[in-house]
A and B are shown apart, each in its own frame.
Chain A
Amino acid sequence: MTTTEIASFILLLTGAVFFFAGTVGLLRFPDVYTRLHALAKADNLGLGFIMLGLLLQAPSPATALKLVLIWLLALAASATVGFLIARRARQNGIVPWQSGDRR
């Protein structure tokens, strides 16, 4: 294995770990707001690492640019959609979980 392959391997695995953490957060966290934290942050980082790992295997610079473009679009989408879901939840009177509450 070349150094590039090893680096790509590590980046891809790191990405998968973040996706896994995001899913665990989704399952464990107590309300929609905390779950949004988990998904918006961990999954985006996961996608970022997967993108970087694949970038090292990209067959051409054009494909590499396309990967970066996809990632930036996904980032923008998550940021806006995450904010809108949280905002709508609050408008609809969903009360945030407090640390004394039962899960």
Chain B
Amino acid sequence: MNTLLPILAVFLLGNLLVALLRVARGPTPADRLLAALLFGTTGVAILLLLAFATASAALLDAALVFALLAAISGAAFAQRAWREEQAEAAHDDD
């Protein structure tokens, strides 16, 4: 019924592709890590658009799992980094 959704999904896929090529070029490892952000936002958006375009609830769940994994890994890394920083701060006080 809605032709806009698949068109937008393809547009975002093109965006993601260009962005990934740029990210792969680096030049620093930190630049390449940006791919994690790209999949968390653009990837989720593409899945959402496709879920509505094809009226398939399964893709919506896939998007949810994507976002959930991104958030959990983010939180886990953040907690580790925070502990490291606390340890460093305690070390500095000695």
- Please list the residues of chain A having a beta carbon within 8 angstroms of any beta carbon in chain B: 9, 12-13, 15-16, 19-20, 22-23, 26-27, 32, 35-36, 39-40, 43-44, 46-47, 50-51, 54, 57, 59, 63, 66-67, 69-71, 73-74, 76-89, 92, 94
The total number of A-B Cβ pairs within 8 Å is 139
CB distance B15 to A35 under 8 Å?
A: no
B30 at the interface (CB under 8 A from A): yes
Chain B interface, number of residues (Cβ within 8 angstroms): 43
How far in angstroms is the closest Cβ of chain B from A94? Answer: 5
- Please list the residues of chain B having a beta carbon within 8 angstroms of any beta carbon in chain A: 2, 4-5, 8, 11-12, 15, 18-19, 22-23, 28-31, 33-34, 36-38, 40-42, 44-45, 48-49, 52, 55, 57, 60, 63-64, 67-68, 70-71, 73-75, 77-78, 81
The A interface is mostly helix, strand or loop, or mixed, namely helix
CB distance A54 to B8 under 8 Å?
A: no
**A residues near B5, Cβ cutoff 8 Å:** 12
How far in angstroms is the closest Cβ of chain B from A56? Answer: 11
CB distance A88 to B33 under 8 Å?
A: yes
7 pairs across A/B with beta carbons < 8 Å? A32-B28, A54-B49, A66-B64, A85-B30, A88-B33, A89-B30, A92-B28
CB distance B75 to A76 under 8 Å?
A: yes
**Chain B residue nearest in CB terms to A86:** B30
- Given A27-B18, A50-B48, A85-B30, A40:B77 Cβ within 8 A: no
**A residues near B49, Cβ cutoff 8 Å:** 12, 50, 54
**A residues near B67, Cβ cutoff 8 Å:** 70-71, 73-74, 77
